[in-house]
Chains A and B, each alone.
Chain A
Amino acid sequence: MKKTLLLLSISCYGYASYSQDTRINGFCNVNAMAIKDNAVIPNKTVNNYFSLGQYDLFVTSQLTDRISALGETVFEYNPTTQHFGIDVERAIVNYAVNNYFNISVGKFHIPLGYWNNAYHHGMVLQPTITRPDAIKFEDEGGLLPIHDIGLQVSGDNLGKLNFGYNLMVGNGIASTADGDDNTSKSIIANVHIAPVQGLKLIASSYIDEVPSNTMTMHMNLTANAKATSYRVLNGSLAYMDGNKPLELIAEYYNVNTTMDSVGSKTTHGYLLYAGYRIKNFVPYVSYDAIDYQKGEAYFNPNNVKTTILGLRYSFTPLAVVKVEYKYHTYAPTTTNTGIKNSLAVQFAFGF
């Protein structure tokens, strides 16, 4: 009996280890910054420091021929608590029905625009040191609900234009990891084509409602307001063919919020990135901006513009150094000019 059990357990182990292929990877980055910002320290406007970026534990697993899973957990220093916090950024299980239809459930980076799905928390794969303002993470003051928990169906490469789609239903803005404050769900739709190798054209949208007096993932309290409707329309173009020297990303986000107190307000978010690879170097420029409509009450409206001049060097695909000069403007006040200059170096790596 013991022998039978032993043989059975060995055969089961053998089967499991063959069919389930799990890979554990990690990403991290170390930064050096020199910042001149009149707002930070009014009497001493220059600051410089080293910093540790997000420590990203990334796990993927092919569970069966059709089922795959992905987990991305980030350890990040929280200046408020002065401790490292842990956040499950993505946890997805995917069932591939066929080439044109996949079903996924879990916590996603929502299928809105290009950048949000091409680059996640591992900075080594991202072309710039930081995410553009328009698509910053929710807890960093971003416009968009980057993460959501729900169900997604998707497909790619249909027809000659390589048409693809993503449709997602999620808890939405007013939700936590274990629930949702309202019955209204977020609806995200993304359609895209890739007419030539490396070129992707995307149109996507996001619709949700936020009940009154709810702390949202944007860290805003919609106090004393009746339900806020929140809608995003997006158009993106990306030419990122790893085999060609030119890199180009252009995205536009139109974010509309409607509150009974102030009515309908529209915010525009833009980002433009262009790089050109010369051997293992990529010199690049980037411009991004957020332009709030006067009277916007859902967000803390602070128009920002950022211009970046940078150079990226890849030792290997998983060891990259970036050098950037950033010119950032924001709404001036009586104590600052609203201009921030910074020079940053980032060493990003994966293992």
Chain B
Amino acid sequence: MNTMKENISNILLMIALLIGILIYFLASGFTTSNKAIKAANIEIAVIVNKENPVTASSASEIKAYYLREKTRRWPVINKNIRPVANKNNNAEQTTFYQKVLNMRADDVEKYFISRQYQSAEKPQDKFSSDKEIIDFVGNEIGAIGFVNAASLNAEARSKVKVLLTVN
């Protein structure tokens, strides 16, 4: 009987402790890297290699390819889908995550880490600038990425194809 009472009191103590911790963190507004970078009023372009015949144009189709949800290889060319991202969580990335993937930056990160951990799937290739992303997508037939639409000059457009623009 005493053991039962001790157990109940332990459980109640734990519940109180957990609620206390929860309230503390919520009240103190404890935030992390999920801190929202508001999508600035910019236009981004979702790009693939010029040789990729894919014609996806809706956000949901692009999300399915980028996250390799429905397919891990591109149709027709049968090449590995290689999602590309920025090393830093900049305004272009925030716009893409929010408006195309409809996900938080941490959730995207966790998604790719989990896939890598479960089945050796290659996570995103990350670059520091739009130019590096355009160069990579232009050279890698399976790549899909996003850049500021203003970065797509004539030379860039000769290497990559725009699937969708978002602002």
Q: Which residues of A contact B (CB under 8 A)?
A: 21, 23, 58, 60-62, 65-66, 68-70, 92, 94, 96, 98-99, 117-118, 120, 122, 125, 157, 162, 242-243, 278-281, 283, 309-311, 313-318, 323, 325, 327, 337, 339, 341, 343, 350
Does B111 contact A311, Cβ atoms closer than 8 Å? no
With A99-B73, A281-B25 as contacts: A125 and B114 at CB distance below 8 Å: yes
CB distance from A26 to the nearest CB of B (A): 12
A271 to B99, CA, bound (A): 37
A278 to B71, CA, bound (A): 31
CB distance from A333 to the nearest CB of B (A): 15
- A-B pairs under 8 A by CB, number: 111
CB distance from A195 to the nearest CB of B (A): 13
Does B78 contact A60, Cβ atoms closer than 8 Å? no
Does B106 contact A317, Cβ atoms closer than 8 Å? yes
Does A325 contact B113, Cβ atoms closer than 8 Å? no
Interface range on chain B (Cβ under 8 Å from partner): 35 or more
Task: Note all chain A residues with C-beta closer than 8 A to B111.
Answer: 242
Does A350 contact B71, Cβ atoms closer than 8 Å? no
Does B109 contact A317, Cβ atoms closer than 8 Å? yes
Does A309 contact B79, Cβ atoms closer than 8 Å? no
Does B103 contact A242, Cβ atoms closer than 8 Å? yes
With A98-B73, A316-B109 as contacts: A21 and B122 at CB distance below 8 Å: yes
State which of A61, A309, A314 has its C-beta within 8 Å of the C-beta of B11: A309
CB distance from A314 to the nearest CB of B (A): 7
The verdict on B27 contacting chain A, using a C-beta distance below 8 Å, is no
Does A60 contact B3, Cβ atoms closer than 8 Å? no
Does B109 contact A125, Cβ atoms closer than 8 Å? no
Does A117 contact B118, Cβ atoms closer than 8 Å? yes
A325 to B10, CA, bound (A): 9
The segment from B13-21, B45-53, B149-157, B158-166 that touches chain A is B13-21
Task: Note all chain B residues with C-beta closer than 8 A to A317.
Answer: 106, 109-110, 113
**Residue with the highest number of chain A CB atoms closer than 10 Å, among B11, B14, B114:** B14
State which of A120, A157, A162, A281 has its C-beta within 8 Å of the C-beta of B117: A120
Interface string of B18-49 (1 = CB under 8 A from A): 10011001100011111000000000000000
Task: Note all chain B residues with C-beta closer than 8 A to A122.
Answer: 117
Does A98 contact B113, Cβ atoms closer than 8 Å? no
Interface contacts beyond A94-B119, A309-B14: sample of 16 additional A-B pairs, CB < 8 Å, sorted by A? A65-B80, A65-B142, A66-B80, A68-B120, A96-B72, A96-B80, A99-B71, A117-B118, A118-B118, A120-B118, A242-B114, A280-B31, A280-B34, A309-B11, A311-B18, A337-B3
Q: List 5 A-B contacts (CB under 8 A).
A: A60-B121, A120-B118, A162-B70, A243-B107, A341-B10
State which of B11, B69, B113 has its C-beta within 8 Å of the C-beta of A125: B113
Q: Which residue of B lies closest to A317 (CB)?
A: B110
Q: Which residue of A lies closest to B80 (CB)?
A: A65
CB distance from B34 to the nearest CB of A (A): 6
With A122-B117, A317-B113, A339-B7 as contacts: A281 and B22 at CB distance below 8 Å: yes
Task: Note all chain A residues with C-beta closer than 8 A to B71.
Answer: 99, 157
Task: Note all chain A residues with C-beta closer than 8 A to B21.
Answer: 311, 323
Task: Note all chain A residues with C-beta closer than 8 A to B3.
Answer: 337, 339
A62 to B108, CA, bound (A): 20
Does A99 contact B72, Cβ atoms closer than 8 Å? yes
Does B114 contact A60, Cβ atoms closer than 8 Å? no
The verdict on B57 contacting chain A, using a C-beta distance below 8 Å, is no
A317 to B17, CA, bound (A): 24
Task: Note all chain A residues with C-beta closer than 8 A to B22.
Answer: 278, 281, 283, 311
Does B25 contact A92, Cβ atoms closer than 8 Å? no
CB distance from B12 to the nearest CB of A (A): 10
Q: Which 8 A-B pairs have the closest CB atoms?
A: A325-B14, A70-B120, A317-B110, A68-B120, A62-B122, A60-B120, A242-B107, A317-B109
The verdict on B116 contacting chain A, using a C-beta distance below 8 Å, is yes
Task: Note all chain B residues with C-beta closer than 8 A to A339.
Answer: 3, 7
Interface string of B77-119 (1 = CB under 8 A from A): 0111000000000000000000000110011011101101111
Does A60 contact B11, Cβ atoms closer than 8 Å? no
Task: Note all chain B residues with C-beta closer than 8 A to A325.
Answer: 10-11, 14, 18
